[in-house]
Amino acid sequence: MRTVTARKGQSLIDLALQHCGSADWGEDVAKQNNLSPDYVCSGGEVLEVPDGVEAERKRIASAGVVPVTGLDVSGWTLQGVGLSMVGEMSVR
**Measured distance between the N- and C-terminal CA atoms of the chain, rounded to whole angstroms:** 54
Strand partners, 2: 49
CA angle, corner 19, sides to 23 and 10, nearest 5?
70
Domain boundaries, given as residue ranges, for the chain: 2-62
Model confidence pLDDT, tens digit, residues 57-72 = 888 888 888 888 876 6
Judge whether 50 and 28 are in contact, CB under 8 Å. Answer: yes
Task: Tell me the pLDDT tens digit for each residue of 13-58.
Answer: 999 999 999 999 999 999 999 999 999 999 999 999 998 888 888 8
Q: What's the rounded Cα separation, in Å, for the pair 6 and 83?
A: 32
